[in-house]
Structure 1
């Protein structure tokens, strides 16, 4: 066994002081659907509902061993890393200062404060994360505190490797395939580095959000590159640039092993897991399950482990998740319609709707024109093919309309 594998096992043993191993559960619903043995490694069930606690705890443990007098730790995070560090600070009874953007939802601030208790101070600085990070690093230099990186750190990676240690121990054998979500690459680095040493026959697939494909970009360019734009919906994995250290642990991967998950499709997976299995996953936590339909042809009859990395989902976002899911599935569309300004025009339009169609939004955008008025209309239906019938009827009746469902610019302002 390599030195890293031995260190990962030592980290796993130390983590037992903090919480028991998270469940590795065979999921009957997914197994039956794909004709495979699908197991979920439930990192959404740690005390802070994400795997981030592992890396934060291990890094803090090893830093304190190297510098026993260090009693002040700092991080910059608006999510799971902040909560993991806060929990670790309370465990070790050390001071923690956590920098968060001013725009951080109050729910995340409150949860971080709850996990850290009196040992944690939260500073809200910066409208954007880059500003928050700069403030945290400057604070470290000024105060002599220890910065705790979210993923690009050897001790953090070693802590995340404990997920791989537990998978092998709990399954009792090596799986055929492990599916891992990727943000900055800490989890993927740790798990793959351990399993490649302890179970060399295991294959890997990686999943990134379509709007934050930092690993894919690094593999295509031969090194980490900063993405020009990042979609922040999958906030737990929306990272603009893969870490330099995590890149060195993942540079062996092939671009074909990295799958990209559209943000709206992830919403379908989140709702399915919630409604069918009663499992609450945040967007990043659903990535490994979301990609299974793309892998269906190669996983039949195999043993597959999907790491569900987090379950910190704010239910105030549920309407947005449902909306995104419906639009991706083709069950909801938005149109701008030129409505003739004459008696009976609205009645004529309503007669074009089928028995499964329902108006979810109707709003006049401009009704000062003498002959026509512009209307924003949202329609839900039970089957995607119903829209072809509906638009066919509008075409036949001579109604002028524009489908803006996938028009990002108009959707942002109107929907």
Structure 2
């Protein structure tokens, strides 16, 4: 039986006819912060700005006689399949939910050109997947799963082969994001127990953690799609067969709002554009702390397909997580000077970002939605203490998800 490491190396070598290896770059900023030798594997610099084209390449090169490839995806997998269909001269039909942002549809169409047909089906991915698999069976195509496929796992393992070649050895520790598990399974199969491992998931899509607790892949009841590149309801059976022994102690879940602080930091400090899933491994360094001090650590920056129309949302989430932006409902007396009284409670670093009367017909009091931005979280302790002392009635709704959905 051919050694898996040899398969991954061969796949990586074959890929050089289509695209160069992605760089493994030491990051001085992160290395100084964590007292470690931090390297970033920059999959965001691939031709489709993610690692997903690797699995598609490997599957297509191993099926030279297969004319039609079918996929279901609303993101990076669709773009990787489209890119490789054009490279190999294959026909591709890619099913995407009707709700897919136009930017992703346009990029998939751009990479695939005339080689790819895009079909928009259903409001949710499950409907899209069902339609894709039904079409594939009828048309005699090859369904290319984004992660639950041996050829895809082998192709994603080319990331590990490149890391070893570029670094000259296995790193001491590897931090890898987990979605459906194809990339992490390939990495583990390649490096084994040599390095230390940290597997990172978004809090709203921790399917590996759920599977490890259950002892088998299980479907999450609800998925937060903010980190869409890693927000998967159920880890793949084939990847989990390789990951079932990694242990819960080696997994981390990252709150989506905290992830936004890292996206902004990498953009503002390093000029690196990362999508939410692509920032997971870097954000995880905050939790690893002293355990990685003095070690050589590789973080996989898995994707940079970031829609800049989302930047205001990312900034908002980051501010709320950092505690420098809050929303509250204030009961304001309907009398002359009441607003002025409230304004005098604000400090020199406090700024009103939102002010909206919610009820304009109340005779004695009016409810006001107020958003305040400040420079440091501690300023809110002073503000709320002042409001309490002056007898204002208010409710902090920053963490109230239901109210926030309706009002913010």
Q: Secondary structure at the match of 1:411?
A: helix
State the match for 2:48 in structure 1.
48
Q: Does 1:140 align with 2:136?
A: yes
Pick the aligned partner of 1:385 from 366, 372, 378.
378
Q: Which residue of 2 aligns with 1:281?
A: 274
Distance 2:338 2:179 in 1: 51
**CA–CA separation in structure 1 for the residues paired with 2:320 and 2:312:** 12
| Distance in 1 separating the partners of 2:144 and 2:283 | 30
2:341 aligned with 1:345 = no
Matched, 1:194 2:193: no
For residues 2 and 164 of structure 2, what CA distance do their matches in structure 1 show?
16
1:71 match: 67
After the TM superposition, which residues 106-145 of structure 1 pair with which residues of structure 2 at under 5 Å, given as runs?
A: 106-145=102-141
Shift of 1:201: 2.2
Which residue in 2 is equivalent to 1:204? Answer: 197
Kindly report which structure 2 residues correspond to 1:350-365, keeping only aligned pairs within 5 A, or say none.
350-365=343-358
Runs of 4+ in 1 over 3 A off after TM superposition: none
Shift, 1:224, TM fit = 0.6
Q: Deviations over 1:199-231 (max 9, x none)?
A: x42111000000100000111111111001110
Deviates more, 1:278-287 or 1:365-374: 365-374
> Are 1:94 and 2:87 counterparts?
no
Separation of aligned partners in 2, 1:42 and 1:192: 19
Residues 1:259 and 2:255 are matched in the alignment: no
Deviations 1:170-214 (A, max 9, x none): 001221000000000000000111011xxx421110000001000
Structure 2: how far apart are the matches of 1:2 and 1:146?
24
Picking from 391, 395, 406, the partner of 2:399 is 406
- CA–CA separation in structure 1 for the residues paired with 2:62 and 2:195: 29
**Residue-by-residue CA offset, 1:224-253 (whole Å, 9 max, x unaligned):** 110011101000000000111110010111
Q: Distance in 1 between matches of 2:8 and 2:241?
A: 18
- For residues 392 and 340 of structure 1, the distance between their equivalents in structure 2, rounded to whole angstroms, comes to 19
TM-score (norm 1): 0.97
Aligned residues: 408
Matched, 1:271 2:267: no
Give the alignment's TM-score, normalised by structure 2. 0.99
| Partner secondary structure for residue 62 of structure 2 | helix
Tell me the secondary structure at the aligned position of residue 358 of structure 2: strand
Aligned counterpart, 1:373: 366
1:61 positional shift = 1.2
- Show CA shifts across 1:141-178 (max 9, x none): 11111111000000000000000000010001221000
Alignment partner, residue 28 of structure 2: 28
**For residues 256 and 406 of structure 1, what CA distance do their matches in structure 2 show?**
28
Gaps of 5+ in 2: none
Structure 1: 5+ residue runs without aligned partners? Answer: none
Q: Secondary structure at the match of 1:360?
A: strand
Aligned-residue offset at 1:412: 0.5
Corresponding residue number in structure 1 for 2:177: 181
1:313 to 299, 306, 316: 306
- CA drift at 1:297: 1.3
After TM superposition, the structure 1 stretch with the greater mean CA deviation from structure 2, 12-21 or 300-309, is 12-21
Return 256-265 or 200-209, whichever deviates more: 200-209
Q: Distance in 2 between matches of 1:201 and 1:234?
A: 29
CA distance in 2, matches of 1:308, 1:371: 55
| SS at 1:131 equivalent | helix
Query: Is 2:229 the counterpart of 1:229?
Result: no
Query: Quick one: distance in 2 between partners of 1:230 and 1:63?
Result: 34
Partner in structure 1 of residue 19 of structure 2? 19
Equivalent residue for 1:57?
57
Task: Find the partner of 1:170 among 166, 176, 188.
Answer: 166
Give 1:62 shift.
1.2
CA RMSD of superposed structures (Å): 0.9
Structure 2 CA distance, aligned partners of 1:408 and 1:81?
A: 31
Deviation at 1:2, TM superposition (A): 6.4
Residue aligning to 1:37: 37
Q: Does structure 1 residue 293 correspond to structure 2 residue 286?
A: yes
